[in-house]
Amino acid sequence: MIPRLLFRALPSLGAAALVTFLSGCVAIEFPARDSNPGHKPKPAPNTGITDDVRVFETNNVVRVEIDGQLFTEYRFRDVSRPFFYPILTPAGDHYTRRWPQEEVPNEERDHPHHHSLWYSHGDVNGVDLWSESAKAGRTVQDSIVKIASGRNAGLLTTRNEWRDKDGKVLGHDVRTHRFSRGPGSERYLDFSITIVASHGPMTLGDTKEGTFAIRVAESMRNKQPKNQPGEGHLLSSRGHRDGEVWGKRAEWVDYWGPVNGKTLGVAIFDHPANPRHPTWWHARDYGLFAANPFGVHDFEKRAKGAGNLKIPAGGSVTFHYRVMFHAGDSGTANVASRYDEYVRTFKVAP
């Protein structure tokens, strides 16, 4: 039996995060704050043990390899918010749009703030952390708290400050990413984020512009430019399809379509322990796909501010998601069963 990693949500996190991970992992620990920002941590030492999932910092990114192949890179230097790019199948096909990270032909140049896979929100104490406009704020990685490689899973924990355009800190988060593989070509990213009101009260505002998001590969779109039909499709756990998914609540949503002659898909799972579960979905036919538990005004046409989530000074709130990268459509990939498995095995402390 393969041991499973249990994440535990802490009511608040201070200078360091406590992370429970596989007994077989080899870990490198870093201080909660970098006293020397120019320092580049070294990769995990060679212990003589083969790590099937290897996580290490190199060339200003955190690189994740599974079975010796690049799965993804975590980009955090000189960006508006940390994000994952590229995200690849074992054969090297891309799950996400390549622009604006790369200039490639036949990709739309809309929404330059859609950076592959990321977490940000459009109204935090009135500050826009979603877009990259002149007035927008930034999410700045403060430190790498922990990196771990292992036989069955790898792990990355970081601390990040949420700042307005002038650099004022609104609060911070501690986010943990666990990387693992399933049967065949399936890959998983377990994402947990604790948002801490460390610099006074925080309000996560009622807007559709957010929050845990991915921009799928151009060929996977449900609609192509100029309103032409696409070959991609969306399905939610509640049975909504394609354009019906937007603004609805569901435990999970899957988005799949063709990539280089193959059918690939990305599903996001909303954990039952999350506030406001099941979440609403900001899922668009042009390829944006986001879990957003705050945009009630936009999604349900309720009074503006109905979706505000307030965190008192010193308080915190935690969310957990799984991203499943798979071949085939929702049925072929058994997405519904994989969600049930996630709920059974990913345990959150009460």
Residues contacting 198, CB < 8 A, separation 6+: 169, 171, 172, 314
Question: What pTM, to 2 d.p., does this model score?
Answer: 0.86
Position 261 scores a pLDDT of 97
Q: How many helices (H) and strands (E) are present in the chain, helices listed first?
A: 2, 21
| Lowest-confidence segment of 50-59, 178-187, 316-325 by average pLDDT | 50-59
Instruction: Walk across the sheet containing 153-163 and list its strands.
Output: 26-29, 138-149, 153-163, 169-181, 187-196, 316-327, 262-270, 252-259, 233-236
19 pLDDT exceeds 90?
no
Position 112 scores a pLDDT of 83
How many CB atoms are closer than 10 A to CB 50?
9
Cis peptide before 201 (omega within 30 of 0): no
- At residue 115, the 3 state secondary structure works out as coil
The whole-number average pLDDT for the span 18-44 is 41
Tell the residue number behind the tokens 């990539």, with chain if given. Answer: 259
Tell the residue number behind the tokens 């590969």, with chain if given. Answer: 217
Binning pLDDT at 50, 70 and 90, where does residue 44 land? low
Question: For residue 7, what are its two tokens?
Answer: 């994440």
205 pLDDT exceeds 60?
yes
Position 58 scores a pLDDT of 95
**Is 49-103+110-345 CATH 2.70.98?**
yes
More confident residue, 43 or 266: 266
Position 49 scores a pLDDT of 44
Distance CA 334, CA 328 (A): 9
Closest residue by Cα to residue 254 from 186, 175, 206: 186
Distance CA 112, CA 40 (A): 29
Contact (CB, 8 A) for 209 and 122: yes
Helix (H) or strand (E) holding 131: none
335 pLDDT exceeds 70?
yes
Position 48 scores a pLDDT of 46
206 pLDDT exceeds 80?
yes
High-pLDDT (> 70) share of the chain, %:
86
199 pLDDT exceeds 60?
yes
Q: Phi first, then psi: give them for residue 342, nearest 5 degrees.
A: -60, -45
Average pLDDT, the chain: 88
More confident residue, 226 or 280: 280
Position 233 scores a pLDDT of 98
Residues contacting 116, CB < 8 A, separation 6+: 83, 84, 85, 86, 87, 96, 97, 101, 214, 215
Distance CA 304, CA 313 (A): 23
Position 30 scores a pLDDT of 38
97 pLDDT exceeds 90?
no
